[in-house]
Chain A
Amino acid sequence: MQTDLSPRKRRTAWLLLAGMIVWMTGAQLLFKSAGLHAHRHPGLVQGFVLNVAMWWGLFSSGMSMLCWLGSLRTLPLSAAYPWTASIYVLTPVASAFLFNEILSQRYFFGIALLVAGIFLSAGGAESNDSR
């Protein structure tokens, strides 16, 4: 599928995939920030409707979806899909820096199992087209 494509198209597709990972990681961090805001400001209006972080999180999710669809126009799903696993590494690491969450080595062993599982199941992703 990739062989007939120009290097520029391929580069754009990989950049879009990287964009999807960055936007999605950003969305998760913004949702955590939104949760902290809702904790400090109880009530539907203050906690949710006027929660700027939540709206930015939704925007970030939307951008991530657009990047994902854009990358899949060029890349096969089986090539792109395993890279989504990186979100499960980047997000906890970023949350440790931004929200002072403490991550143990044992926790990272569990994350490694998750990532391995996503990589393994990605082999059947192209034929299943299930995501």
Chain B
Amino acid sequence: MTLGEFAMCIAAVFSSSTAQILMKRASSTGISATGFRLLSMGIVLQLLSVLLAVLVLRTMALSQLMPFAALAYVLVPLGSAVLLKERLTRRFWWGSFLIMSGIMWTLSVGV
């Protein structure tokens, strides 16, 4: 995996995680101009994430990209805790530790 592919994978997962947080925020604001703006930004970021994934999948194996996608299981709750003041449990931290270990393990192994 090249540095460029790695950067695009990270950008794709950050983009989709931010999109999920924006959509969650939009759902709690109800029908309003702010809600519509947040939802639109979320959809644009989700599409950007797909575009980045397709770009990186031109040369990279799908099975190499998949572990990166799991980073969303860590980033979304973390972002929700920081931005939406949601509570994180101890189980989340243990789970995140395993997820991060799995990502690093598959990266070190390659395919």
Contact = CB atoms under 8 A, between A and B. Distances in A.
B54 A35 contact: yes
B11 to A, nearest CB: 15
A62 to B, nearest CB: 10
A35 B91 contact: no
Nearest to A116: B98
Interface string B29-59: 0000000000000000001001101111111
Contact of B111 (A39, A48, A101): A101
B62 A128 contact: no
Contact of B54 (A31, A88, A99, A116): A31
Counting chain B CB atoms within 10 Å of each CB, the highest count among A36, A95, A121, A131 belongs to A121
A41 to B, nearest CB: 10
Contact of B66 (A54, A57, A88, A119): A88
Given A107-B106, A110-B103, A128 B86 contact: yes
A95 B63 CA distance: 7
Contacts of A115: 102
The DSSP consensus for interface residues of chain A is: helix
Contacts of B67: 88, 110-111, 114
Given A95-B61, A106-B109, A121-B94, A128 B89 contact: yes
23 contacts: A29-B62, A31-B50, A31-B62, A32-B57, A35-B53, A39-B59, A95-B62, A95-B63, A101-B62, A110-B67, A110-B102, A112-B102, A114-B70, A114-B98, A114-B103, A118-B95, A120-B94, A124-B92, A127-B87, A128-B86, A128-B88, A130-B80, A131-B20
A8 B80 CA distance: 34
Contact of B57 (A34, A114, A120, A124): A34
A113 B105 contact: yes
B106 to A, nearest CB: 3
B88 to A, nearest CB: 7
Q: Which of B53, B89, B95 has the most CB of A within 10 A?
A: B95
B97 interface: yes
